[in-house]
Amino acid sequence: MKTHILAFALSITVCLGARAELKFDKTEIELHPTPADKQAVGHFTYQNTGKTPVKFKSVKASCGCTAAQTQKDEVPPGEKGEVTATFNIGDRTGTQVKTVTVETDDHTNPHTVLTLRTIIPQLLEVTPTFVFWKQGDKPDAKPITVKVGKEFTVNNIKVTSSSPDFQTKVEETGKGEFKIDVQPKDTNSNLGTTLTIQPVDSPKLFYATARVTGAPPAPMAPADQKAPAGQAAPVAPTDQKAPVGKTAPSGQTH
């Protein structure tokens, strides 16, 4: 019984080995870019182990963020080559898995999926990335916590505000942890700033936004508002202005 199973298994592997033509050394690559990297590149090398040339029909990535190319369109027997997958990290975080589907005219293996797994290191974690005050609120300082990734050491961070209307103060609150206190000069008008956070020994930049947001004081023609039921719930007078406040943010209509 055992020898039969062994013989069967062997014959299958031998059969498979003989027929496959375009063989990839690895179909799954894991990349560990540094925080400063903007791209992560995976080199999927292959070899034509068959007796006839193999032609690439298409090389497609699962998302627009990954570009994939082969060096050559046709691979003669015995030749080696590579499919290069370039993943644009952009502003992504965490573990990103993208695939590249390769189609060839190889009958036994027309369809290969290459997997690119990119572990994006988190140098800093900024929470929250957005703080706000409503118009009329007390202009108290609001905290933003910056945590350093476990595998990194950051001695200090530099915070700059794009607008002079906001003040920032940075203090170290623990090992690998900082606190940024942001404060507007007043909350009488819609103000905004982008805070650029930079670790002292790295070129990588992180961001947070602070805004004074809210409605102009006088309610205007509330009758023409299709006031949704949920909106009526808050009782405080300031909230009643909220539906009308739509005219204030300028980005809305474009």
**Residues within the interface to another protein (CB under 8 A):** 28, 30, 62-65, 88, 90-92, 95, 97-99, 101, 113, 115, 117, 119, 126-130, 132, 134, 192, 194, 205-207, 209, 211, 213-215, 225-226, 228, 230-231, 239, 242-243, 245-246, 248-254
Of 48 and 206, the one with the shorter C-beta distance to another protein is: 206
Of 23 and 74, the one with the shorter C-beta distance to another protein is: 23
The owner of tokens 């204030």 is: 248
Pairing state between β 111-120 and 28-31: parallel
Of 74 and 152, the one with the shorter C-beta distance to another protein is: 152
Of 53 and 245, the one with the shorter C-beta distance to another protein is: 245
State both tokens at 138. 């007390």
Q: 133: how many CB neighbours lie within 10 A of its CB?
A: 21
State both tokens at 185. 């000069």
| Smallest distance from another protein to CB 251, Å | 4
Of 20 and 119, the one with the shorter C-beta distance to another protein is: 119
| Smallest distance from another protein to CB 60, Å | 11
Contacts of residue 225, Cβ cutoff 8 Å, sequence gap at least 6: 243, 244
| Smallest distance from another protein to CB 78, Å | 27
| Smallest distance from another protein to CB 117, Å | 7
| Smallest distance from another protein to CB 225, Å | 7
| Smallest distance from another protein to CB 227, Å | 8
Of 175 and 254, the one with the shorter C-beta distance to another protein is: 254
Q: 124: how many CB neighbours lie within 10 A of its CB?
A: 21
Of 164 and 228, the one with the shorter C-beta distance to another protein is: 228
| Smallest distance from another protein to CB 95, Å | 6
